[in-house]
C-alpha cells in the first residue's frame, strides 16, 4: 500500500484588523477548493489564520483582546470549513488563538494548531512551545511582538499523532527555529511536521537579521527535515499586514532536506507536493538510525540545563 500524502501549504496574504472571521473563512474555503482540484489529502493553513497577527498591538487590559481568541473549535465561524472539508474528504491543519477557562476560573491563552482528519474528526490540538518576543509594551519599537503577553507556553511539548496513514507532528512559527523541536518529534518517529508562521521581516533587537529572514526560514526547516528524516510543511501568513511586511516563502521539504515546492507570491497561494512517507525510512533506517547511532548518555545537558554554562577558565 502506498503512503503518499498530497499536501497543500495554504499560504495566506495579509488579514486586516477589521476583517471578520467569516471573510477569512471564505478565503480558507477558496484555498480548500484549489486543494481539491490539486488532489490534496491535507491542507495546512498558517499560524493565527483566523485573524490579523494581533500581538503587534498592546492593550493594557488583556481582556480587551479576548475577541481575538476562539473559545471552541469548531465554532459558528469555522463550521463551514469543517463541513466542506469533510464533504470533500480533505483534512486540514488550522492555526488560531484559543482561550480556555478551567473549572476554578483560571484563564489560559494559547497559540494553537488543530489537525483535522479527512472525515472531519479532530486528531489533536498542539499548543505553541517556544513563545518569542516580549512581555511588556515597548513603545520604541515600530510595532510590538507581544506574544509573551498574549500567550502562555505549552506545558505539553511536542506530540506526534497517527493520522493520514503516517505519523504527523506540529510546531508553530518560532518552534521551527529550535533543533529540540524536531528531535522531540523525530524520537517519536514523525514523518510529517506541519508548521504555520507569521514572521515579520523586521527584527527590532537585531535588524541585521532582516535580509536573512528567508534564508533562516529555509535553513531551519530544511535541516530539521533532513536530520530527522521527515517531511516539513512550512506555511506563512505573508505580505504587508497592517503596515508590517512579513515573510512569505511557504515551502514543503523532503526527508532529504530538499525543497519540493515553494510559494512564488506573498499572497493567498496553494503550494502542493506529493509526499511519499516511505521516503522517511531511507534516512531514519540508515544514516539517522537513532537507536544505533545516537548517544543520549552524553547529551545530558539537553534536558538538565537551560542557558549556557561556560567551562571553568583554566588556572
- Which grid cell is 196? 504555520
Beta-sheet pairing, 259-262 with 269-276: unpaired
- Is 132 a binding residue for ligand CDT by CB under 6 A? The answer is yes
Given a contact cutoff of 8 angstroms between Cβ atoms, the answer to whether 80 and 87 are in contact is no
Q: How far apart are CA 288 and CA 200, in angstroms?
A: 34
Minimum Å gap between C-beta 133 and ligand CDT is 4
40 is catalytic: no
Nearer CB in complex with ligand CDT: 50/85: 50
Q: Is 154 in the site for ligand CDT (CB under 6 A)?
A: no
Q: What's the CA gap between 221 and 239, in Å, rounded?
A: 20
Q: How far is the CB of 189 from ligand CDT (least distance, A)?
A: 26
Q: Are 48 and 96 within 8 A, CB to CB?
A: yes
Strands lying side by side in the sheet with 166-172 = 160-163, 166-172, 192-197, 231-236, 251-253, 259-262
Q: Are strands 4-11 and 42-44 parallel, antiparallel or unpaired?
A: parallel
Question: Is residue 127 within the footprint of ligand CDT (CB under 6 A)?
Answer: no
Question: Which residue's CB is nearer to ligand CDT, number 177 or number 183?
Answer: 177
Nearer to ligand CDT, 253 or 288 (CB): 253
| DSSP, res 296 | G
In the window 193-212, what residues touch ligand CDT (CB under 6 A)? 197-199
Contacting ligand CDT (CB under 6 A), which of 113, 114, 154, 174? Answer: 174
Q: Could you tell me what percentage of the chain is helix, strand and coil, using 3-state DSSP and rounding each to the nearest 5?
A: 30, 25, 45
Nearer to ligand CDT, 205 or 285 (CB): 205
Near ligand CDT by CB under 6 A: residue from 94, 123, 173, 232? 173
| Shortest distance, position 200 Cβ to ligand CDT, whole Å | 6
Question: Which lies closer to ligand CDT via its Cβ, residue 199 or residue 228?
Answer: 199
| Marked catalytic residue, from 128, 195, 249, 280 | 128
56 binds ligand CDT per the rule CB under 6 A:
no
Q: Identify which range of 159-167, 173-181, 219-227, 279-287 contacts ligand CDT by CB under 6 A.
A: 173-181
182 binds ligand CDT (CB under 6 A): no
> Is 47 among the residues known to form the active site?
yes
Indicate if 237 belongs to the active site.
no
Displacement of CA 193 from its chain's centroid (Å): 9
**Dihedrals phi, psi of 65, to nearest 5 degrees:** -95, 5
153 binds ligand CDT (CB under 6 A): no
Catalytic residue among 40, 93, 173, 275: 173
B/e letters for 144-174, b = 16+ CB within 10 Å, e = fewer, are bbbbebbbeebeeebbbbebbebbbbbbbbb
CB neighbours of residue 301 within 10 Å: 10
Instruction: Determine if the peptide bond prior to 74 is cis (ω within 30°).
Output: yes
CB-nearer residue toward ligand CDT: 145 or 167: 145
Give the residues lining the site for ligand CDT (CB under 6 A). Answer: 47, 132-133, 145, 173-174, 177, 197-199
Amino acid at each position: 500500500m502506498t503512503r503518499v500524502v498530497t499536501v497543500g501549504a495554504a499560504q495566506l496574504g495579509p488579514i486586516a484588523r477589521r476583517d471578520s472571521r467569516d471573510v477569512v473563512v471564505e478565503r480558507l474555503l477558496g484555498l480548500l477548493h484549489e486543494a481539491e482540484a490539486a488532489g490534496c489529502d491535507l491542507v495546512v493553513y498558517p499560524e493565527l489564520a483566523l485573524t490579523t497577527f494581533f500581538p503587534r498591538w498592546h492593550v493594557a487590559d488583556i481582556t480587551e483582546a479576548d475577541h481575538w481568541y476562539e473559545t471552541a473549535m469548531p465554532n459558528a465561524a469555522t463550521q463551514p470549513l469543517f463541513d466542506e472539508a469533510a464533504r470533500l474528504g480533505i483534512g486540514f491543519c488550522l492555526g488560531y488563538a484559543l482561550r480556555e477557562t478551567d473549572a476554578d476560573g483560571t484563564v489560559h491563552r494559547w497559540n494553537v494548531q488543530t489537525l483535522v482528519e479527512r472525515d472531519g474528526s479532530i486528531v489533536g490540538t498542539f499548543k505553541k512551545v517556544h513563545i518569542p518576543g516580549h512581555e511588556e509594551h515597548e513603545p520604541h519599537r515600530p510595532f510590538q511582538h507581544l506574544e509573551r503577553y498574549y500567550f502562555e507556553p505549552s506545558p505539553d511539548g511536542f506530540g506526534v499523532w497517527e493520522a493520514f496513514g503516517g505519523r504527523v507532528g506540529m510546531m508553530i512559527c518560532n518552534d521551527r527555529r529550535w533543533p529540540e523541536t524536531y528531535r522531540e518529534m523525530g524520537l517519536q518517529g514523525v514523518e510529517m511536521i506541519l508548521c504555520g508562521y507569521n514572521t515579520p521581516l523586521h527584527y527590532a533587537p537585531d535588524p541585521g537579521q532582516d535580509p536573512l529572514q528567508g534564508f533562516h526560514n529555509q535553513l531551519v526547516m530544511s535541516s530539521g527535515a533532513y536530520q530527522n528524516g521527515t517531511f516539513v510543511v512550512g506555511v506563512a501568513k505573508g505580505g504587508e499586514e497592517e503596515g508590517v511586511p512579513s515573510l512569505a516563502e511557504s515551502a514543503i521539504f523532503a526527508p532529504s532536506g530538499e525543497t519540493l515546492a515553494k510559494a512564488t507570491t506573498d499572497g493567498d497561494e496553494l503550494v502542493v507536493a506529493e509526499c511519499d512517507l516511505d521516503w522517511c525510512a531511507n534516512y531514519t533506517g540508515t544514516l539517522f538510525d537513532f537507536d544505533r547511532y545516537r548517544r543520549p548518555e552524553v547529551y545530558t545537558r539537553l534536558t538538565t540545563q537551560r542557558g549556557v554554562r561556560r567551562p571553568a577558565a583554566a588556572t
